[in-house]
Homo-oligomer: A and B are copies of this chain.
């Protein structure tokens, strides 16, 4: 494959060779950019080097043009400051997932150096951490939020934007507080809610867990995330997350009052069903605002649902035949229940192609199911 042209000019200093830092190093090195690796742990630097993420930085290394601080979030601010001072010709960015604290730190203590700082939040990651999990394609197709400070120069912003584009990410610009408020709603609150729903399963009887369906699996998937990392993220964005959680608690109190009324006086009690219906209806309104695959308002795809025997090759055969029918799958879900010999593949396709696909799959002997995934 020809090496893609990149706009980033090296040397690039990567400070912190964990998952994000090493992945950046891999992607830039693969594009021919000179990458210098720095980490408090010499063995982390050696691992990054051995993986091909760059060369260890030494006192004799040439001055970097761009520094990427990829340390744990709680030391990002001081590390950015130290790098601004150590490399007076370099643009400095950091990749911490909470931005206002780092930005305030640089504003307050950075003096004129703050002109060379631009914050970043590449919205990519993995369930494992460390350089050993690094991947040159980690950022491909992911949003990369760029957070210029009030004093960032246009050149500094351009350098960080180019970095994002060079590693395959889609840059988007937000203010620091705007970013932190946004991730509180779209990332941090969902994490807490998923964890709290999953926590209720700790002491549930086996028989209850046997009834788990796709709804529970979806709601709790991210509950498997790393507690220490998440505690650092949550305390780092404490204000916005607290605001979102306080609003959620109001809904909890509303629902609880309605449920307690129904439990005491029966389901037809005044003030029982109404508030609960309003909580669910508010969720309808909110979820409808999540953009669809191609951005903008959610596009309605037609769903084609097919029963798939749980045997080697059956799902592959299905998708092969959908491909032969010339239909693009825009999204898909696979559903199954414990101990069942069949699964349900739900294909989202262009509404204009749905009935043709159904006819074609039917002709080929697949069992079609009218779509839908409620489980009540």
Contact = CB atoms under 8 A, between A and B. Distances in A.
Contacts of A182: 204-205, 207-208, 211
Given A186-B208, A186-B212, A231-B280, A312 B295 contact: no
A249 interface: yes
Interface string A215-226: 111111111111
A286 interface: yes
Which 9 residue pairs of A and B lie closest in terms of their CB atoms, listed nearest first? A316-B323, A126-B372, A319-B319, A195-B283, A320-B320, A182-B208, A238-B262, A201-B286, A312-B328
A135 to B, nearest CB: 4
A218 B296 CA distance: 19
A107 to B, nearest CB: 17
A166 interface: no
Contact of A211 (B123, B244, B318): B123
Contacts of A232: 267, 273
B230 A259 contact: no
Interface string A346-361: 0000000000000000
Nearest to A267: B235
A6 interface: no
A7 interface: no
B207 A125 contact: no
Contacts of A74: 267-268
Contacts of A198: 282-287
Contact of A316 (B252, B285, B319): B319
Given A178-B205, A328-B313, A337 B212 contact: no
Interface centre among A137, A258, A286, A326 (most CB of B within 10 A): A286
Interface stretch (A53-61, A112-120, A363-371): A363-371
Contact of A287 (B201, B258, B263): B201
Contacts of A244: 200
B276 A234 contact: yes
A287 B204 CA distance: 11
A338 B211 contact: no
Contacts of A86: none
A228 to B, nearest CB: 6
A284 B181 contact: no
State the copy count for this chain: 2
Interface string A250-293: 01110110111111000111001110111111111111111111
A178 to B, nearest CB: 6
A285 B219 contact: no
11 contacts: A142-B340, A178-B208, A185-B200, A186-B201, A193-B194, A193-B219, A198-B284, A215-B221, A220-B283, A234-B255, A316-B328
A196 B279 contact: yes
A293 B338 contact: yes
A10 interface: no
A241 B212 contact: no
A268 B138 CA distance: 30
A281 B227 contact: yes
A282 to B, nearest CB: 4
Contact of A195 (B126, B282, B320): B282
